[in-house]
Amino acid sequence: MLSLYSNKVKAGFPSPATDYVQNRIDLNTLLIRHPASTYLVEVEGDSMIDLGIYPNDILIVDRSLTACNKDIVIALIDDGFTAKQLILGENIILRAHNENYADITVQGSLELFGVVASSIRRFKR
């Protein structure tokens, strides 16, 4: 369990307010709704950087969720997994969020591993 401070952290001008511990938070409870169907995957590549998903981020993937339009999903494409935004319409599109990558228009059936529920980024010293 980790401590949650009652005051929010300013990302601009620092606040002179004193912080007090409000609650204790279990990151498993906060980030994982369905433990039996949740997996962690590490990101390789930069196709989703414009959505804030970077190489070495850890994605929390929930296999029990039904994918909806604009969800970030883990899909099986050409014998490999990829993280992309699911666009549902006349065609099913897996959208990259980096101008160096083209959208993937799905031909035939699409196999989804799960829906990305959260991401974790570690900052190293």
List residues with catalytic annotation: 47, 84
Contacts for 52 with CB less than 8 Å, ≥ 6 apart: 119
User: How distant, in Å, are the alpha carbons of 16, 57, 75, 84 from that of 109?
Assistant: 56, 28, 11, 16
Interatomic CA distance for residues 58 and 83, integer angstroms: 11
